[in-house]
Structure 1
Amino acid sequence: MSSDPLTIPPRSLAFVTGATGLLGNNLVRELLAEGWRVRALVRSPEKAARQFAGLDVEIVEGDMLDVPGFAAALAGVDVVFHTAAYFRDSYKGGSHWPALKAANVDGTRALLAAAHAAGVRRFIHVSSIAVLDGAPGALIDETMERQERDADDYYRSKILSDREVLAFLDAHPDFWAAMVLPGWMHGPGDIGPTSAGQTVLDVAEGRLPGVPPGSFSVVDARDVARALILANARGRRGERYMAAGRHMTMAELVPQIAAAAGVKAPSWRIPQALLYVIAAGNEVYARLTGKPVLLSWAVARSMAREAGRTRFDPQKSQRELGLTFRPLAETLADEVAWFRKNGVLTAG
């Protein structure tokens, strides 16, 4: 819980989509610590039972592909925090545009309409730094929008979902919404795990043969959760707020992960050309087995395209929301500790 608790009306009710995910579960915990009541949308009640054991959370089973199926649960809600998103093309080979559009674009449109029909008038949308772009080395702010022609399918789905929010605001003057743009999220509670968590596990268990090229903007999911609450309390209607964290190359990040896990970091640098070869092999493996892979062709191509384009300017969020970021060493230590406590990581 932050040392700067926000004043909220007593017993305010938050509806959180994607509640068992890395961001969603940390948001639920932060909301509870701030005195909110929480209604959590989950696809798996079993996963929710594990994630929220001992917490006073109202569980709603549902899926963003069927918003009418859970729309009744939006009654009485004060604010919707929309963290759910489909991003499995980061794990599997091939194209996943139909699924990305159905969940991220059509699902967001349906959720906005259902929330408004239920009497909800506040909405915090989790966007992504993927909707922004700049030249290599440039400091990127919220005004530097990515063009669709420069977006892969996942990035495009996030661009279009943002447009759904803005279009809804234009059509409904009585509705309020703001957007928060996270970077590559790490932290405890990664039950999935996400690609970030899988990277930590691969380093900790010695499965990463070398250091991949590329750079990222790394952020603690708990800091992003805080940004969502701050955006609801202090943000302006229709505005974007960055919660991207800090620019890091993989060569900088991997040794810090290794230090947190107490293992030796790989030192060999994987050339970009070899990364494409590995990705192509992973694509074949994914198609033959149906199993997820850490490095798909889309990920390899994105790493090459985005290298150096991961410096994001936090000034607007710092100035308007009062957002701060914890040290990366704390994030990684807590992430590793959570994996160990939950039996996901046994090495070390």
Structure 2
Amino acid sequence: MCRAARVKPSEPALTLVTGVSGFVGSAVAHALAARGARVRGLVRAPSPRGNLADFPGELVEGDLRDGDAVARAMRGVRHLFHVAADYRLWAPDPEEIVRNNAAMTRVVMEAALAAGVERLVYTSSVATLRPRDDRPADENDAAAPDQAVGAYKRSKVIAERLVEEMVAARGLPAVIVQPSTPIGPRDVKPTPTGRIVVEAANGRMPAYLDSGLNLVHVDDVAAGHLLALDKGRIGERYILGGQDVMLGDMLGRIAALVGRRPPAFRIPRPPLFPLAWANEQLARVTGREPFLTLDSLRMAKHRMFFSSARAEAELGYRARPHGEALADSIGWFRGAGMIR
């Protein structure tokens, strides 16, 4: 149970962050605490505790699909960062990902309206955008649910549209941010991109696809969240990205950082589809999320390149070079014992 103490005039505003046991949520909470905010984190009871040992604030437990639990956590809150999401690119029941992300978003936004939260930042994703082959995608390239590849991307499109509808129809004071592909410290799960870093650093990726992605340091993403709270326009979307990088170049940089040879072979996508199918069937037996999935291969058809120009112009957002982000990521994974 959470009881919000009466705020003294001299005390900073209380800020609630969801998803603080996770990668981006943990970074946002630490960034808030570093600038003197009072932070409350909302976590599910079974959440991993690796990022909570040094949590810089108050922790309360509750399921984000439970309206009563979220309402209790929202008491006394002035600002909200809804970062939590069911971030899986594969599940035995893909629609479970859609149901979870839609339900969590609706419950949290309803609770924020009921509690009179002054301002909030909703963490969406570049997964809600249509990749472009002629230029980096930007906020104008919004996807419809049926244009999204896979359950996770579709779930984020549905959730983002829900937030936008509540802004327009009910005055929800939300700013939307769309991180690209964060890497860096505290990736405890790890994320799908974090798994690529770990596998490559351990010498288990001898080949690569002709694809690309936009890499950004997780702490820069966290800083972008705070800028969105301070300067973002209500109802607007802001891409929080870094640098566009070809997958082969990313793997080569990882190899150089750990003292290994870079992968030598670029392989086409079609021969990998049977392997991805087999991986998914095995995952149904083992319960472990497969490294290679059918949806990930479908996504790799396009280079996931994005522009952060709007965030840079309106928020003053900046991101460090992706090589620094990779070095910090490898250093953290090595310290966690994930890289030999």
TM (norm. structure 1) is: 0.89
Distance change in 2, residues 1:318/1:86 (3 Å): same
Q: How does 1:170-249 map to 2 (within 5 A)?
A: 170-173=168-171, 175-249=172-246
Q: How does 1:263-342 map to 2 (within 5 A)?
A: 263-304=260-301, 307-308=302-303, 310-342=304-336
Distance change in 2, residues 1:262/1:28 (3 Å): farther
Instruction: Indicate whether 1:107 and 2:101 are aligned.
Output: no
Q: Corresponding residue for 2:135? A: 138
Unaligned runs of 5+ in 2: 1-9
RMSD over equivalenced CA pairs, Å: 1.8
* Shift, 1:242, TM fit: 0.8
Q: Corresponding residue for 2:79? A: 79
Distance change in 2, residues 1:219/1:186 (3 Å): same
Distance change in 2, residues 1:95/1:61 (3 Å): same
TM (norm. structure 2) is: 0.91
**Deviations, residues 102-145 of structure 1 (Å, cap 9, x unaligned):** 22112111111112212213111111112112531223221121
Q: How does 1:18-29 map to 2 (within 5 A)?
A: 18-29=19-30
Confirm or deny: 8 A CA contact 2:212 2:305 kept in the other structure.
no
Q: Corresponding residue for 1:161? A: 159
Confirm or deny: 8 A CA contact 2:131 2:305 kept in the other structure.
no
Structure 1 runs (4+) deviating above 4 angstroms are none
* Shift, 1:224, TM fit: 0.9
* Whole-angstrom CA distance in 2 between matches of 1:156 and 1:255: 32
* Whole-angstrom CA distance in 1 between matches of 2:203 and 2:326: 16
* Whole-angstrom CA distance in 1 between matches of 2:132 and 2:234: 28
Q: Corresponding residue for 1:57? A: 57
* Whole-angstrom CA distance in 1 between matches of 2:291 and 2:54: 33
Q: Corresponding residue for 1:40? A: 41
Confirm or deny: 8 A CA contact 2:43 2:61 kept in the other structure.
yes
Percent identity over paired residues: 35
* Whole-angstrom CA distance in 2 between matches of 1:91 and 1:267: 28
SS at match of 1:158: helix
Confirm or deny: 8 A CA contact 2:179 2:240 kept in the other structure.
yes
SS at match of 2:120: strand
Q: Corresponding residue for 2:5? A: none
* Whole-angstrom CA distance in 1 between matches of 2:57 and 2:137: 37
* Whole-angstrom CA distance in 2 between matches of 1:35 and 1:259: 38
Letter in 2 for 1:156: R
**Deviations, residues 221-262 of structure 1 (Å, cap 9, x unaligned):** 111111110000001110001112222221111111222223
Unaligned runs of 5+ in 1: 1-8
* Shift, 1:10, TM fit: 4.7
Distance change in 2, residues 1:56/1:279 (3 Å): same
**Deviations, residues 264-317 of structure 1 (Å, cap 9, x unaligned):** 22211122112212211211211222211111111111212xx13x23222110
Distance change in 2, residues 1:300/1:27 (3 Å): same
Letter in 1 for 2:86: Y
* Whole-angstrom CA distance in 2 between matches of 1:43 and 1:106: 15
Distance change in 2, residues 1:87/1:54 (3 Å): closer
* Shift, 1:53, TM fit: 2.7
Confirm or deny: 8 A CA contact 1:123 1:176 kept in the other structure.
yes
**Deviations, residues 40-85 of structure 1 (Å, cap 9, x unaligned):** 112247733x323344321111222324223201111111101111
Distance change in 2, residues 1:73/1:134 (3 Å): closer
* Whole-angstrom CA distance in 2 between matches of 1:91 and 1:59: 29
Confirm or deny: 8 A CA contact 1:65 1:102 kept in the other structure.
no
Q: How does 1:143-154 map to 2 (within 5 A)?
A: 143-152=140-149, 153-154=151-152
Q: Corresponding residue for 2:13? A: 12
